Amino acid sequence: MRTLIRPTAFIDSPFGYDGQVARLAGGLNWFAAVELLEVRDDKRVSSKLIAIQDLQTHLDDELAIQWDRLTSVRPPLKLGERTVRLDQPQVMGIVNVTPDSFSDAGELADPSDAALAGARMAEAGAAIVDVGGESTRPGAKAVWEGDEIKRIEPVIRQLAAGGVAVSVDTRKADVMTAAIAAGAKLVNDVSALTYDQRSAEVVGSAGVPVVLMHHQGPPETMQQDPRYDDVVVEVYSWLEERIADAEEAGVDRANTLIDIGFGFGKTVAHNLELMNNLALFHSLGCPLVVGASRKRSIGALSNEAPADQRLGGSLAFALKAVEQGAQIVRVHDVPETVQAMKVWRGLRDQALTPRI
């Protein structure tokens, strides 16, 4: 049996509530209560709602560690010469240099077009541009490392030369090595360093941050009847193990980000359950990356809208994520998402302006 802490009862402003509210992960969100979740065999068995001012009497050693991680400031990402602050939500733009991307039908398969698209994303306000050369959509087949490198290397090199903070979306050690040499400063691995046994060594040796994403099964089969007894707790426990494994392999915990893996081996119900409980994952102590942009769940909830007509749903999920403290939202539609984040930030700034 163990207990997990999920922040809830979010409020607009902390003013006048000393000792009654807490700040989530050093960001712009404040909460007045937590849900203490009793867990047995990776399944929630009971819960209790506790006001912040009453929480101290419930904190044993393990919960004290979770509480410290929930409320600690997330240091900025050092991506070469660029610094990305994590005390406010940031946008990561997606550049798929693939002929079979689910979201754009291979529009950016040409490296020159991809590099131009990435530069425009940066100009529009993306703090990071994520470049990938292998589709990991449901049913996608693996791509040979040589082909993947050939697709992404010129794009990363051109973007990095232009001052863009670039991440590489790959699960292969050789591709990571080539991308880092070309100028990538962050690795985004959908397999959480489990696909290639050499990948943790590459990331650890390079000293670059890495995103560990949850998945259930490989892309070829992950959407063939995914099952969980309790998706929230199982994903939490899995990520907890991957963080520990990466740290043991030489990856600095301070360089680790996590992603719940929206749509990777999950039904619509699983995805929605994870999004509703996203704040829980801050107790793992790592910045949260959320990538729900244009995903299949949006189509399922909106009369099967095709991928290029899912902007509204993508923005809804992005705002849901930042309302629960997600530090990075990974999106296809950068200008629209940046605008949504600016409006959200304006609302937060106004709420956090002292009234007296």
Active site residues: 295, 330
Query: Is residue 278 helix, strand or coil?
Result: helix
Query: Is residue 330 helix, strand or coil?
Result: strand
Q: Which residues contact 347 (CB under 8 A, 6 or more apart)?
A: none
Query: H-helix or E-strand containing 157?
Result: helix 145-161
Q: What φ, ψ does residue 158 adopt, rounded to 5°?
A: -70, -45
Q: Are 12 and 351 in contact (CB under 8 A)?
A: yes
**Could you tell me how far CA 269 lies from the centroid of its own chain?**
19
Query: H-helix or E-strand containing 113?
Result: helix 111-124
Q: Are 165 and 128 in contact (CB under 8 A)?
A: yes
Query: H-helix or E-strand containing 91?
Result: strand 90-96
User: Which tokens in the block code for residue 39?
Assistant: 């867990």
The amino acid that residue 3 corresponds to is: T
Query: Is residue 139 helix, strand or coil?
Result: coil
Contacts 24+ apart (CB under 8 A), 226-231: 226/265, 226/266, 226/267, 226/270, 228/270, 229/41, 229/42, 229/43, 230/42, 230/43, 230/44, 231/266, 231/270, 231/273, 231/274
Q: Which residues contact 184 (CB under 8 A, 6 or more apart)?
A: 131, 156, 160, 166, 167, 168, 208
CA angle 257, 259, 261 (to 5 degrees): 160
Cα separations in angstroms, 99 against 103, 132, 133, 134, 211: 11, 11, 9, 9, 24
The whole-angstrom separation of Cα 45 and Cα 69 is: 23
The whole-angstrom separation of Cα 299 and Cα 296 is: 5
